[in-house]
């Protein structure tokens, strides 16, 4: 039995009404609580989401996963997010970005030929 874990995020229901969804996990049990946001919170949420979208378009320099390599890969936060989400969905593991296939091949060779798995 671990400590209760809680996650909170925003969700829209079918009619576009925003809710704060709290997901609580205690042991093997999962609870979900949908809290509707009132008008003021809705405005705050809209602002927050707008900022989030703007941030997503900003380019960040992602360092190559090969520690011997000093190169960086320019990616928007959106691309970065999609990169991790798609690799998680497709392979059920986190795959880290490399600047080139040569760098990736080098790292894969060091790790016995398999993609790098990352817990968490």
Nearer to Zn ion, 94 or 103 (CB): 103
Cβ distance 18 to 37 under 8 Å? Answer: yes
Q: How far is the CB of 73 from Zn ion (least distance, A)?
A: 8
Which residues contribute to the site for Zn ion (CB under 5 A)?
A: 64, 66, 69, 71, 99, 103
CA distance 71 to 61: 9
- Beta-bridge partners for 8: 22
Tokens encoding 79: 């691309």
User: Is 19 or 84 the residue whose CB approaches Zn ion more closely?
Assistant: 84
Quote the CA–CA distance of 112 and 10 in Å, as a whole number: 40
Nearest distance, CB of residue 59 and Zn ion, angstroms: 18
Phi, psi of 35 (to 5 degrees): -110, 115
- Closest to Zn ion by CB, 13 vs 100, is 100
Question: Measured from the CB of residue 15, what is the shortest distance to Zn ion in angstroms?
Answer: 47
Q: How far is the CB of 108 from Zn ion (least distance, A)?
A: 13
Whichever of 21 and 99 has its CB closer to Zn ion, that residue is 99
C-beta pairs of 43-47 under 8 Å, 24+ apart in sequence: 45/10, 45/18
């Amino acid at each position: 039995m671990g400590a209760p874990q809680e996650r909170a995020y925003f969700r829209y229901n079918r009619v576009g009404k925003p809710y704060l969804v709290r997901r609580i996990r205690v042991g093997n049990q999962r609870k979900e609580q949908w809290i509707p946001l009132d008008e003021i919170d809705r405005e705050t949420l809209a602002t927050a989401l707008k900022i989030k979208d703007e941030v997503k378009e900003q380019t960040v320099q992602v360092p190559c996963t090969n520690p011997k390599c000093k190169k960086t890969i320019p990616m928007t936060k959106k691309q970065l997010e999609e990169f991790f989400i798609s690799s998680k969905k497709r392979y059920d593991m986190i795959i880290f970005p490399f600047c080139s296939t040569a760098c990736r091949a080098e790292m894969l060779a060091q790790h016995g030929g398999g993609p790098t798995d990352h817990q968490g």
